[in-house]
Amino acid sequence: DTGVSQDPRHKITKRGQNVTFRCDPISEHNRLYWYRQTLGQGPEFLTYFQNEAQLEKSRLLSDRFSAERPKGSFSTLEIQRTEQGDSAMYLCASTTEGSTDTQYFGPGTRLTVL
Amino acid sequence: QKEVEQDPGPLSVPEGAIVSLNCTYSNSAFQYFMWYRQYSRKGPELLMYTYSSGNKEDGRFTAQVDKSSKYISLFIRDSQPSDSATYLCAMSGRGGYQKVTFGIGTKLQVIP
């Protein structure tokens, strides 16, 4: 499968716990994006990497959120001290430099915070 | 006011109907316009992509962009039950990277 993959697909956690999600982009794509989507809403931009550099973070990304892309390949998104308001679908997308904005999305990780 | 406005629906049509989905936007910097289809509990799937104003056709799908009115449309001809999904308009500007701003999505149901 040459598409964007995300793991896990579903995560249920208790409030206050830490969670980490992983995204594997399409192999030749050097740009990677994280979005959050809540029920009945469109995806909202969280952060963006070009290779291993994190170039922008949305104000939606509070101090409890951290994202990394250590070798410019896969990326992780960690949420510390989860809150019920963090319950959402977390989507990863990738594209390649010089492309025409055609971001390809993974299946998402659905997070439920109890 | 949101940068991208989209009617959430739901929109129900009989099989074979022509479907018209629309979005308006306020940011003049948007240059790239996209339509994504999203099935329940799945990630968005890119359907159509258009740069600047104009029309683009791909099979049963036609995308139109009118930058002067800040209005984009997606038409689906001969709609099928398998077209039932949420359709998200999305757009971005030019620059070193392309943060995409999405509409809320319109839920479409095609009834057999």
pLDDT digit string (tens) for B64-86? 999 999 999 999 999 999 999 99
Helix (H) or strand (E) holding A94: strand A88-95
Q: Residue B48: which H helix or E strand, with range?
A: strand B45-51
Chain A residue whose CA is closest to B8: A40
Of the candidates A6, A43, A104, which has its C-beta nearest B102's C-beta?
A: A43
Report yes or no: A49 at the B interface, CB cutoff 8 Å.
no
Question: Rounded mean pLDDT of B46-70?
Answer: 92
- 8 Å CB contact of A100 and B104: no
pLDDT of residue B95: 55
- Is pLDDT at A96 greater than 90 in this prediction? no
Q: What length is written for chain B?
A: 112
- Asked if the C-beta of B51 comes within 8 angstroms of chain A's C-beta atoms, the answer is yes
The partner residue sitting opposite A102, judged by closest CB among B41, B49, B88, is B49
Mean pLDDT across the stretch A82-109? 87
Confidence at residue A1, expressed as pLDDT on a 0 to 100 scale: 52
* β-strands B54-58, A44-50 pairing: unpaired
Which residue has better confidence, A30 or A78?
Answer: A78
Residue A2 has pLDDT above 80, yes or no: no
